[in-house]
Amino acid sequence: MTPTKAVRRSVLLLAPLLAIVSLVGCSATSDSVSGGNAGSSSWSFTDDTGKTVTLDHQPKRIASYADYALGLLSTGVKPVAVFGRVAVASDDRFADYDISSTAIVGNSYGEIDLEKLAEAAPDLIVAGVYPTDRKGTINKDEPYYSLADKEQQTQLEKIAPIVAIKVGGKGSDVITSVNKLATALGADPDTIAAAKKKYDSAAADLRAAAAQTKLEVTQMYADADGVYVVKPGDEPETELYRSLGVKFTDLHPDGEYYWDKYSWENAAQMMTGDVLLVNVEGFQKKDLLDQATFASSPALKTGQIHAWNSAALDYASQAKHITELAKILRDSKNV
């Protein structure tokens, strides 16, 4: 996640969209009802906000925000339309999937081509929702994550009903939520089971790498305004990796929610990490070296800095990302 657009607005309001909280369970049912010689079936799904969507058929044409589209693709459910916060065509996370026939209807946070989306004729849209605090509060006056505003959300709902994945609580809970939706949309349980097997193997390897290296990892976003350090207990992905033994920079665990924020004048306060994972949408190595107050970072000086795009929270995406993180740890040293 990155403090851009909706997130930056939330930062300014001191009520971030990004959060951690235990997930509300989601469920789906498909009931066949016969009447005389005619048959009909209905599909019902209760999402992570408690909203139930009921259709007269199992939806087959799915439009989705990129992170959840990846989760669906990994289970064999192919969306007809995808919108992302970065250019989908150049998003390396989609490299393993053929999306040549998928309509790309948005390449920047909150920017969705409604006409193109309507042409894709989805019968269901998948978005995300983040609580506003550690208690798990959902502000229903805010738009779903990935949408520009409530007006845009209303426009999307005129095209197709929206279900939301709640990105909070334990990272493993979010994976479970994605899998429940995928299963409700017809994913093969054996495909999910095979992906979990690879994930479990990668997770065991990351646990071993973390124990062997004992390095501190700083996951961050930086721009002209300063440095934002992810609070590992408030972000599902870092919570997941921390549960596997990875040590993250966490100087104020009980402080402000989700991000520790540092101006460039006081950036030295957070330079305790041996490895820097910097969000792909923010400053990269050259930009950070240009910051006089950050250029002396031991991790930066030794080149232990890596562009980092958070993976989707599904077994396949996480197995790949976890393997990458394990290699980074083993290739790094204590500084």
Residue 140 DSSP code: T
Q: For tokens 């229903």, what's the residue? A: 140
Same domain, 244 and 147: no
Beta carbons of 218 and 278 less than 8 angstroms apart: no
Final residue of a structural domain among 187, 205, 239: 187
Confidence at residue 318, expressed as pLDDT on a 0 to 100 scale: 97
Strands 259-262 and 103-106: unpaired
Q: Are residues 166 and 235 in the same domain?
A: no
The verdict on 175 and 309 lying in the same domain is no
Cα(130)–Cα(122) distance, integer angstroms: 24
Q: Residue 317 belongs to what domain range?
A: 196-330
Residue 256 to residue 221: CA distance in whole angstroms: 16
Given the structure tokens 């083993």, which residue do they identify?
A: 330
pLDDT on residue 2: 62
Mean pLDDT score of the chain: 88
| CA-wise closest residue to 6 among 169, 122, 127 | 127
Place 4 in a pLDDT band, splitting at 50, 70 and 90.
very low
Residue 214 corresponds to which tokens in the numbers above? Answer: 């004992």
- What pLDDT is attached to residue 3? 65
pLDDT at 14 over 80: no
Higher pLDDT, 37 or 115: 115
Same domain, 93 and 207: no
Shared domain for 205 and 282, answered yes or no, is: yes
Q: Please tell me the predicted confidence (pLDDT) of residue 235.
A: 93
Task: Give residue 271's pLDDT.
Answer: 95
pLDDT band at residue 129, thresholds of 50, 70 and 90? Answer: very high
> Kind and range of the H or E element at 317?
helix 315-330
Q: Are 164 and 212 in the same domain?
A: no
Q: Which residues pair with 222 in a beta bridge?
A: 227
Within this chain, do residues 174 and 25 fall inside the same structural domain, yes or no?
Answer: yes
Q: Are residues 175 and 38 in the same domain?
A: yes
Are residues 165 and 269 located together in one domain of the fold?
Answer: no
Domain of 241: which CATH number? 3.40.50.1980
pLDDT of 299 above 50: yes
Cβ-based burial of 148 (10 A; exposed 0-12, middle 13-18, buried ≥19): middle
Phi/psi-derived region of residue 169, left when phi > 0, alpha when psi is between -120 and 50, beta in every other case:
left
Residues 228, 261 within the same domain: yes
Quote the pLDDT of residue 24. Answer: 33
Q: 153, 187, 221 — which closes off a domain?
A: 187
Whether 335 is covered by a domain: the verdict is no
The predicted pLDDT at position 131 comes to 85
173 shares its domain with 205:
no
Q: Is residue 1 part of a domain?
A: no
On the CB side of 53, CA atoms within 13 Å amount to: 22
Same domain assignment for residues 218 and 323: yes
Report the domain count for the chain.
2
Whether 242 is covered by a domain: the verdict is: yes
The dihedral region occupied by 120, where left means phi > 0, alpha psi between -120 and 50, and beta the remainder, is alpha
Tokens 């971030």 found at: 16
Asked if the model's pLDDT at residue 22 lies above 70, the reply is no
Mean pLDDT of 62-88: 96
Summarize pLDDT for 166-208 with one digit per residue, the tens: 998 789 999 999 999 999 999 999 999 999 999 999 999 999 9
Give per-residue pLDDT as tens, 205-258: 999 999 999 999 999 999 999 999 999 999 999 999 999 999 999 999 888 888
Dihedral, CA of residue 260, residue 266, residue 268 and residue 271, to nearest 10: 10
